[in-house]
Amino acid sequence: MTVIVRQIRYSFPVIGSPVSQQGSPKSKRQYQTTVTKAASNSVVNPVRGGERVKIEIDWFSEGFQNKPDVDNIIKPIQDALKGIVFEDDNQVESIVARKHDTLRVIRFMREPLSIIEPLLNGHKEYVFVRIY
């Protein structure tokens, strides 16, 4: 019998529009700096090399016209977390990424209230990252 336990180790919002893997090197570097700063505020110690992590990314935006595909925002975020949240990419066991149009009804079950805090504070676009 397999038992799956999901316990959030770290979670944090990254305010602003995420950048696509196909974006310019300069825009990727700038966004990765933003992600690194957000993670640094929440993470005390990176997950050690022998431990695995799961990443969940929820992207909130008022519509998604002219926005990158959800799968293209994963790599810049994951690269920015290396060395801050975990030691190496090979520790990442799985990644789930979702996008949510804030102009529509969004339903959550068993999510931390902090996932909508940026919305309540007036931010129009952000990603919320959870590390398990």
| Domains in the chain, CATH or no CATH each | 10-131 (3.30.1330.70)
Assess whether pLDDT exceeds 70 at residue 1: no
Question: 19-32: buried (b, 16+ CB within 10 Å) or exposed (e) per residue?
Answer: bbbebeeeebeebb
The predicted model scores a pTM of 0.91
Q: What is the mean pLDDT of residues 24-37?
A: 95
Cα dihedral 65, 70, 74, 77 sign: positive
Is residue 86 within 8 Å of residue 46, measured between CB atoms? yes
Please give the pLDDT value at position 49: 86
* Dihedrals phi, psi of 13, to nearest 5 degrees: -90, 155
Torsion, Cα 53 38 62 21, to 10 degrees, reads -60
Assess whether pLDDT exceeds 80 at residue 48: yes
Please give the pLDDT value at position 94: 96
Please give the pLDDT value at position 23: 87
Which of 3-17, 48-62, 116-130 has the lowest average pLDDT?
A: 3-17
What are 57's two structure tokens? 């990314």
What are 124's two structure tokens? 């129009």
